[in-house]
Structure 1
Amino acid sequence: MSGALEEPSEPRSLSEAESLRLLASAPFGRVVFSRDALPAVGPVDHVVDSGSIVIRARLGWSVIVIGVAKRITEPDESVRLDGVLKPWVRGTMDHLVRIVPEVVTGFDLVPALR
């Protein structure tokens, strides 16, 4: 995404082929699943293989936050948070979004006992 905070944006629908092409070009993504009857999202490594997506699950913890997201537009707050929130991918990230948690859950994926 690019552009100033004041620029409006709108979603553009992608075709299935374009979506799979974009997905195949990324080294990792997110999987959406249901946990306690609520939607949850977790990061995964993936590959597009013959039109299907194969993911590799990792051991470790995942925290799921469900809440209201609001764009941060106050300039002083944006500058302060920009100094502590560093992107983990290359590229410009112009927008800061605050999520006020309403539900916080998590899980730890550990080896199964045999």
Structure 2
Amino acid sequence: MNTPLNASEIERLDLRQCLTLLRSQAVGRLVFTEQALPAIRLVNYSMPTGRIVLRLGHAKWVARLDRTVVAFEVDDFDAGARTGWSVVIVGKARLILDIDELVSLNDPAARSWAPGPRDQVVSIDMERVTGRRIRVTASAS
């Protein structure tokens, strides 16, 4: 008697799927270079007008992000079901200093979860967006 076994497959996601998944979360990982080494920070984000917007504190590394290429990753998974997805964005970061732009990006729903002042705003252009999903498929053996 053949018994179905669980197998998995990796699916590449198109841009629309990636953007939908990005909008479903509130926390992602900012990846950048700090003193010639990789650095990763867990951050809240929002997605107004087709870009990633971060509200960050006054750490020294924040100002160094301006006009540098960064990566931003968001994911979700179910360890029990062995399923999940990941979306990665690569683009240029820009420190927002223009008061009109800052006002237009002020969304109370996008407040940072981290304590303390979060008054440095960084925008990441979505120059490259890739996504993958791992899902379970049934196969007979």
The answer to whether the superposition gives a TM-score over 0.5 is: no
- Report the TM-score, using the length of structure 2 for normalisation: 0.38
- Report the TM-score, using the length of structure 1 for normalisation: 0.45
